[in-house]
Structure 1
């Protein structure tokens, strides 16, 4: 089983995208669309103060009849950010995501943010691991059936 660090290392891009709490939601959506991501960390003075996801936008802007050009990130971000340590397993990450109904987890090592894993990253990793196991079993089965 892999760790959050290993999942991060397997991602094609390990960039960490963020926005300030004083930015407009529209600016955040533009950045998310440009980078093809579903969440941004909200950083102020070098500290993580929240996370903004597409779900926050859908529930706190659209459904409340606000406009993204006039609403600030600080008004809709999730302030209680749940982190995962770099050495935690993919199973632990999935359990946290399921328990808290979220799709993105910042990964920290010590006091340093090293990246963010998404539910998609974890599912991709699990599928890859299962594919490897199946291939190994097929080799084992076909190798023993020739004897």
Structure 2
């Protein structure tokens, strides 16, 4: 299933959105020009992971040398367990389960077609007359069929 999150123009770098699709809650993050999606359920004890604080990662080749990377860690608001937003991997202990990640792409409105779901829309009992519509913006789309893939669009 593909889920439309928002138009790219409404999703600034550093933004995050939580979308609810049925019982599934997914956090979508924009880091620079890349998008990532994680299950909003901490594997540790089920906390609302994607509501937690984020912080950039850092790397070093030796004393006095460091670089701040664009990638982010996400800390669960319940117990502070941290996960890499780009992969879902936890680095707190050996063998800890990663959080489920989803593939994310940017699709032109005309490419959406069938098989795409807009969250928070419940079908009613009535059907209105419909008309053909062209959509000309780009949209952030989460693919829930993809597991653990780091997919960048554009």
Common fold, TM-score beyond 0.5? no
TM-score band, normalised by the shorter chain? 0.3 to 0.5
> Per residue, is there more strand in 1 or in 2?
2
> Per residue, is there more helix in 1 or in 2?
1
Higher relative contact order (CA 8 A, sep 6+): 2
TM-score for both structures, normalised by structure 2: 0.31
TM-score for both structures, normalised by structure 1: 0.32
